[in-house]
Each structure stands twice: as C-alpha cells, then as structure tokens.
C-alpha cells in the first residue's frame, strides 16, 4: 500500500475515539485513517477480553491501534494480537504527559530515553507486518530546542528502522500543568516539525495540533506527508464528510448508512 492514505488522520483521543465514535467517523469518510484511544499494554494483558481490542470490524478500516508501554515483550505481544484482529498500523504513544504515564514511565517521559523507544519499536517491527509508527511531542519541559527533537528522532529511527512519525507540535510540560491544560499550553510550534521534514526528507512526517479546517490542512500538505486532527473533528465531525473529496480527490458521494 502506498502512503497516500496518510494524508488525513483522526487523532487518538482517550475517552472519545472509542469504537462507536470511529464507526460514526467512518460513515463520514472512507479514506481517513482513524486512531484508537491510547491503550496501555498492561490493560490488554490483564484483561480477560483483551480490553475489547477485538472489536475492529471491517467497517472502520483503516484503523491504527495506539499502544502505550515500555516493555518490549509486552508491546510485541499486544501488537501481534492487534495485527491478528485486523488493525492496519501500530502506533506507539510517546506523547502522553499524564501523571499516570509519568509514574508508569510510558508516554512522553520516554522522550528522554530514545534507545528504549527504539528497542520497543524494533521489538514490534520484528513480529508484525503492518506499519509501526510513533506519535510524540516536540519537546519536554526545558528540552525544547530543535536539536533535542532531531537527535531523539534520529536515534529512534537509526536503531529501530521507524520512518513514520506523528508530531503533536507542542512540548510537554510535566509536573507543571495537568494533562488537559497541556493540550492548549504552551503555544504550538509548527516550525520544529517543518524543520524535521527538511532534515529527514525520506521520513513520513505527519503534523498534529490546532488544525481546525481543511484549508489549514491543505497548506500543511504542501510541505508535509499528512495531517492529524483531533478536537477539530470531534467538535465538528462533518469536516470528515469533505475529506474524501477535498483531501483524497475522490468524487464518490457520501453514503450515510441507516
């Protein structure tokens, strides 16, 4: 499959993009790639029913399962399970700033440990045949200079082979703000993401954060490989009804199922 389908994604949103929401979104766009809520590997492994990840029916194809965790064996196990359930991509969360993530040493805390992230990704790559991607922030606390981000991405890619990255273009502020506030504070910084695409032209770079319209999306798509929208789509899902035509050039009319 070529990577054209990566041009438009709906972001993973815990408590929001559950399978019912994704089913609804799929009625509006057949082309957008949809991301599940973040699911920690422990939740899958300790759950009798694999934490319901088995509910991935064809109607919501293309779907990426977003995992969090830091244990390569567990991540590989859950990824294989997800591949068998028909998910089209495994995405590793390296962006969650929550207290729970900090305590469990997953999410954005792992930006300080590029080698562990690379080991995790490699372990997943070794057992699945679907793409493995990373969603991360552009920095963490005072480590917000471009070189930190470039070195993190360079190391992860060098040791894992990963070349597909999604950037929430806002740094994480640990211990200073709660998770919700860190979705609006500090300001977005798209330039780091654009800079990365220049430094790693062969990588697929997908930008996320604050994009609310297809006009804005189209501007990013002139320079980058994809856009990911979260709250913009959740608050105004009918944006999605324009995506197949506007972003993918598909002339087919939208059919709403009853």
Ligand X SMILES: Cc1cc2nc3c(=O)[nH]c(=O)nc-3n(C[C@H](O)[C@H](O)[C@H](O)COP(=O)(O)O)c2cc1C
The neighbouring-strand residues paired with 132 are 90
Site string for ligand X, 223-242 (x = CB under 6 A): ------xxxx----------
- For residue 46, the minimal CB distance to ligand X (Å) is 18
Looking at residue 209, the DSSP 8-state letter turns out to be S
Integer CA distances (angstroms), 142 to 11, 156, 190, 194, in order:
26, 20, 17, 20
93 binds ligand X (CB under 6 A): yes
- For residue 81, the minimal CB distance to ligand X (Å) is 19
Stretch that binds ligand X, among 13-21, 73-81, 114-122, 195-203 (CB under 6 A): 13-21
CB-nearest residue to ligand X: 230
Instruction: Decide: 129 and 171 in contact? Cβ < 8 Å.
Output: no
96 is known as an active-site residue: yes
Q: Which one, 16 or 23, has the nearer CB to ligand X?
A: 16
- Return the sign of the alpha-carbon dihedral for residues 62, 115, 100, 79: positive
Q: How many residues bind ligand X (CB under 6 A)?
A: 23
- For residue 255, the minimal CB distance to ligand X (Å) is 27
Q: Binding ligand X by CB under 6 A: which of 6, 8, 9, 12?
A: 12
25 binds ligand X (CB under 6 A): no
Q: Binding ligand X by CB under 6 A: which of 69, 208, 217, 240?
A: 208
Closest CA to 95 of 111, 83, 84: 111
Q: Which one, 128 or 233, has the nearer CB to ligand X?
A: 233
H helical segments located in the chain:
19-28, 41-45, 72-84, 99-104, 114-127, 146-160, 190-199, 214-221, 231-235, 240-246
Site string for ligand X, 147-176 (x = CB under 6 A): ---------------------x--------
Looking at residue 171, the DSSP 8-state letter turns out to be -
- For residue 167, the minimal CB distance to ligand X (Å) is 9
The neighbouring-strand residues paired with 137 are 168
Radius of gyration for the chain, computed over Cα atoms and rounded to the nearest angstrom: 17
14 binds ligand X (CB under 6 A): yes
123 binds ligand X (CB under 6 A): no
- For residue 95, the minimal CB distance to ligand X (Å) is 5
Q: Which residue is it, tokens 């919501």?
A: 60
Q: Binding ligand X by CB under 6 A: which of 9, 11, 130, 196?
A: 11
At residue 135's C-alpha, the angle toward residues 77 and 42, to 5°, is: 35
Compute the residue count for the chain: 258
Q: Which one, 126 or 231, has the nearer CB to ligand X?
A: 231
CA distance 74 to 88: 19
Active site residues: 96
What residues make contact with ligand X under the rule CB under 6 A?
11-16, 37-38, 66, 93, 95-96, 135, 168, 183, 208-211, 229-232
């Amino acid at each position: 499959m070529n990577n054209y389908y990566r041009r438009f994604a709906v972001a993973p949103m815990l408590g929001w993009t559950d399978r019912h929401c994704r089913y609804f979104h799929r009625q509006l766009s057949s082309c957008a790639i949809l991301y599940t809520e973040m699911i920690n590997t422990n939740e899958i492994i300790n759950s009798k029913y694999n934490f319901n990840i088995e509910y991935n029916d064809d109607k919501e194809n293309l779907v990426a399962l977003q995992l969090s965790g830091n244990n390569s064996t567990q991540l590989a196990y859950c990824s294989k399970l997800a591949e068998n359930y028909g998910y089209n991509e495994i995405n590793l969360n390296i962006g969650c700033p929550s207290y729970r993530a900090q305590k469990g040493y997953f999410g954005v805390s792992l930006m300080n440990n590029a080698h562990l992230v690379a080991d995790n990704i490699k372990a997943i790559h070794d057992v699945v045949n679907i793409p493995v991607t990373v969603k991360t922030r552009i920095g963490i606390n005072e480590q917000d200079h471009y070189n930190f981000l470039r070195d993190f991405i360079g190391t992860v890619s060098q040791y894992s082979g990963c070349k597909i990255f999604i950037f929430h273009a806002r740094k994480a502020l640990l211990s200073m703000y709660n998770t919700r506030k860190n979705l609006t504070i500090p300001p977005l910084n798209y330039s780091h993401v654009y800079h990365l695409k220049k430094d790693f032209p062969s990588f697929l770079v997908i930008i996320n954060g604050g994009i609310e319209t297809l006009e804005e999306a189209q501007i990013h798509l002139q320079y980058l490989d994809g856009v990911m929208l979260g709250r913009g789509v959740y608050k105004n899902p009918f944006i999605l009804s324009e995506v197949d035509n506007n972003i993918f050039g598909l002339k087919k009319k939208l059919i709403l199922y009853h």
